[in-house]
Amino acid sequence: MFQARIYNLIVPALLEHEELASSGMYVQKSINRSGSISERDTPSPTEKEIHTLIKEMSNIETMFRMHKLDDEFVYQFFKQIYYFIGTVSMNNLVVRKDLCNNNKAMQIIYNISNMEQFIREHNIPNREDVKAQLNGISQASKL
């Protein structure tokens, strides 16, 4: 089942993934034992999670296109998957206090925009309805 394959990727991909931080927009610094300040240049453990999630969805979309499935089926599938992603993300956002700050909100919104970009690039039918499934997590992250 596809939901089981992506379940463990959702929270690291949407809520914990820090591509903005790794792009240099936010430079994280740490204090060494000697007291000097150094920039953190080791990649985050969740650095590739969003790309893995998008790759999984891309693989399934390619399979759908290969088998020439009806656009209505493709639309329903991605609408339900995006609903599932939004629900799992919202549940985790509500219970995790460490995700409730402005920096994380910008990162979450950026990660959501990557998910929306997937819909546009792959010409998913009724893309506005599919994107709407992530509106709740987007709005909640701004609070």
Contact 28, 21 (CB under 8 A): yes
Cα–Cα nearest to 9, from 44, 43, 54, 42: 54
CA distance linking residue 69 with residue 34, whole number of Å: 61
CA distances from 111 to 1, 68, 74, 131 (A): 24, 29, 22, 13
Q: Is the pLDDT of residue 43 over 70?
A: no
Q: Is the pLDDT of residue 46 over 70?
A: no
pLDDT score of 20: 66
Q: Binning pLDDT at 50, 70 and 90, where does residue 22 land?
A: low
pLDDT one-digit tens code per residue, 84-97: 999 999 999 999 88
CA distance linking residue 93 with residue 12, whole number of Å: 12
Residue with tokens 């394959």: 5
Higher pLDDT, 17 or 106: 106
Q: Binning pLDDT at 50, 70 and 90, where does residue 21 land?
A: low
Q: If you average pLDDT over residues 58-76, what whole number do you get?
A: 95
